[in-house]
Chains A and B, each alone.
Chain A
Amino acid sequence: MPDLTIQRIQAGLRSKEFSARELTQNYLQTIAQKDGDIQAFLAVYSNQALETATRVDEIIASDGILEPLAGVPIAIKDNILIENQKATAGSKMLENYTALYDAGVIRKLKKHNAIFLGKTNLDEFAMGSSTENSAYQITKNPHDLTRVPGGSSGGSTAAVAAQMAPAALGSDTGGSIRQPAHFCGVVGLKPTYGSVSRSGLIAMASSLDQIGPITQTVADAAIVFDAISGNDPYDNTSTQEKNQNTFANLDTQKAKGMTVGLPKEYFESGSDPEVNKALEEVIQYYQSQGVVFKEISLPHTKYGLACYYIIQPAQVSSNLARFDTIRYSPVYGIDSQQHDLEKLYIHSRSLGFGQETQRRIMLGTFVLSSGYYDAYYKKAEEAREYIRDDFQKAFGEVDTILTPVAPTPAFKIGEKTQDPLSMYLSDIFSVPASLAGLPAISIPTRKQPDSLPIGFQIIGQHFHESDILNLGHLYEQV
């Protein structure tokens, strides 16, 4: 049973076409067949997955109530905590760390009786755009094994693209759901900051981090978003608003009446011709459906990347200061008795953190240090205000905004690892929505045979996930 969507799984389970156990076995088999090459998973939970599946089958047999995600297998990025399972965040620093509690999203998914297939690979602590920064393995793009899947949620997007899971959770700080979704040809939703609880997500840049779904269709993304969003008493930044019920309210008619902004700054700046061509086709399709497009300007777009790569490392250096190897997990190869406390910190952190993580901790420490705070961190916070204002003004004229996700399709493994700045540039179109806390979705364009996947991005207003899901859903009605 290849290529099943969540909607198809829901129908199949309810009509008893297949059982949750058969379904789960099927995915576990696909993982066993394909993951040797793709290396999307860091851990596979065969026994627990089958146990949950059996429980769901019992509910079905007794005609009990099934939540929307009951019996749906899901892969989880390995920076999200599941009680009594390891959570490495792709780092040697947490090689031996077992989570003590469930993340907010996991608690919600457990109430649904969703099935956790396993944990997926990521750039260390979710820092990176290629999944090459994982301390454990390099995930390959299922469409071309010589290319990266994008990052940092590359394990999750590769798992869904290779049909090793019908859905996955990722986390997005500056594009870490949307950019790998674009590289792998799947749907990736970064919700509004505050829509989804960050409790139990290993913190990277706390003012930007957000968990979101990775799926094959927009409708599936809406189903998962509805399940994981909403208030969580363990996260004070989580929304107090009522759930939007985006799936039940999916409405292509509403999308057809929308005015969509095309920010000229996103189309002027040297994207690959194939990216622009793919987007033209998308715009033409929407126009044929009655959607109105309007050119807009987001004049401070060019400051987005510099702003992001100051604020993000600054928050990284603060959040990662907690990893001292005393409280969570030892770093192997360090004899704690051979050092005094200060030396133990320094040696363990130098051995436990990878190169990119150390680079960002250093950058963050620098921009926050007393001589440079005003020149960098404060300046970046000001730039963030300008970027927020740009969007706010634009949303006075348009309902949603359509842009590319990244300037190029998936690049080759190793192509950008020697030049950090060129790697950072692949986030240029995804960071502004993150800085402004806005919801944004990456949706695959119609793929040409023999070409790499290309996605497009729709950005919406705060807590208007319904708008971008409706517009995305319209694109899938061909």
Chain B
Amino acid sequence: MKIAKDEIKHIATLAKLEIPEENLEKFSQEFDSILGYFDELNSLAPRPILSIQAKKQPLRQDDTNLPNHFEKTEAIIQGFPEKQDRFAKVPTAIKDHKDQN
């Protein structure tokens, strides 16, 4: 199956990656050869997928004082690359209404 360059760009947007224009062709060719290899799966008859229904799925107790409660919240906060007080600091997420025009 031939994957167009536009489609590669769209996938990159979904994956939050940026593929430089000059690499799109190479990516498209690699996708072709890899996806071509996947085609042989089409000869398999459809069947129900059973194994993902695990036999016994242990559930944790609905309790905040479990013995394995994670206690290193402070260390996580200390590890943020940029922070303000106890929050991870990020650049503007929502643009000002006036800036959008």
Residue of A nearest to B54 (CB): A237
- Asked if B15 and A388 sit within 8 Å, CB to CB, the answer is no
Q: Interface code A79-106, partner B: CB below 8 Å = 1, 0 otherwise?
A: 0000000000000000011101100000
A321 to B: closest C-beta gap in Å: 8
A454 in the interface (beta carbon within 8 A): no
Residue of B nearest to A375 (CB): B42
How many angstroms between the C-alpha atoms of A420 and B27 in the bound complex?
A: 11
Give the dominant DSSP class at B's interface: loop
Most buried by A among B38, B76, B90: B38
* In the complex, chain A residues 301-318 whose Cβ is within 8 Å of any chain B Cβ: 302-303, 305-307, 309-310, 317
Determine the chain B residues whose CB is within 8 A of the CB of A325 once the complex forms. Answer: 81
Q: How far is the CB of A319 from chain B (nearest CB, A)?
A: 13
Are A350 and B34 in contact, CB atoms less than 8 angstroms apart? Answer: no
Q: Which residues of A contact B34 (CB under 8 A)?
A: 309, 363, 420-421, 424
How far in angstroms is the closest Cβ of chain A from B11?
5
Of the listed stretches A120-128, A132-140, A170-178, A335-343, chain B binds A335-343
Cα separation A339 to B30 with both chains bound (whole Å): 31
The answer to whether the Cβ of A61 comes within 8 Å of any Cβ in the partner chain is no
**8 Å CB contacts to B: which residues of A323-353?**
325-330, 336-337, 339-342, 344-347, 349-350, 353
Known contacts A100-B72, A236-B60: A326-B88 contact under CB 8 Å? yes
Checking B15, B47, B81 against A317 with a beta-carbon cut-off of 8 angstroms, the contacting residue is B15
Known: A302-B40, A306-B40, A325-B81. A346 touches B88 (CB 8 A): no
A350 lies within 8 A of B17 (CB): yes
Pairwise interchain contact A381-B38, C-beta atoms closer than 8 A: no
Assembled-state Cα–Cα distance A435/B33 (Å) = 22
Taking residues whose C-beta sits less than 8 angstroms from the other chain, chain A's interface range is: 35 or more
Asked, given contacts A353-B17, A365-B14, whether A327 binds B88 with beta carbons under 8 Å apart, the answer is yes
Q: Which of A5-13, A160-168, A222-230, A354-362 contacts B (4 or more CB under 8 A)?
A: A354-362
A240-B56 Cα distance, complex, nearest whole Å: 10
Chain B residues lying within 8 Å of A284, measured Cβ to Cβ, are: none
Q: Does A385 count as interface, using CB distance less than 8 angstroms?
A: yes
* A348 to B, closest residue via Cβ: B16
Chain B residues within 8 Å of A330, by CB: 81-82
Residue of B31, B44, B75 near A366 (CB, 8 A) is B31
CB <8 Å contact, B79 and A98: yes
- B42 x A326 contact (CB < 8 A): no
| CB-nearest residue of chain B to A317 | B15
Answer yes or no: B18 CB below 8 A from chain A CBs.
yes
New A-B pairs, 20, CB < 8 Å, besides A300-B44, A327-B88, A329-B81: A233-B67, A236-B60, A306-B38, A328-B79, A330-B81, A340-B95, A341-B93, A344-B90, A347-B18, A349-B17, A362-B11, A363-B31, A369-B14, A376-B41, A382-B41, A382-B44, A382-B46, A382-B47, A383-B44, A384-B51
A-B contact pairs, 7 of them (CB 8 A): A96-B81, A306-B38, A380-B41, A381-B52, A388-B51, A420-B34, A424-B34
User: Chain A residues in contact with chain B, CB under 8 A?
Assistant: 96-98, 100-101, 233-234, 236, 240, 300, 302-303, 305-307, 309-310, 317, 321, 325-330, 336-337, 339-342, 344-347, 349-350, 353, 358-359, 361-363, 365-366, 369, 376, 378-386, 388, 420-421, 424
Task: In the A-B complex, list the 8 residue pairs whose CB atoms are closest, starting with the nearest.
Answer: A330-B81, A365-B15, A341-B93, A350-B18, A233-B68, A100-B75, A379-B41, A306-B38
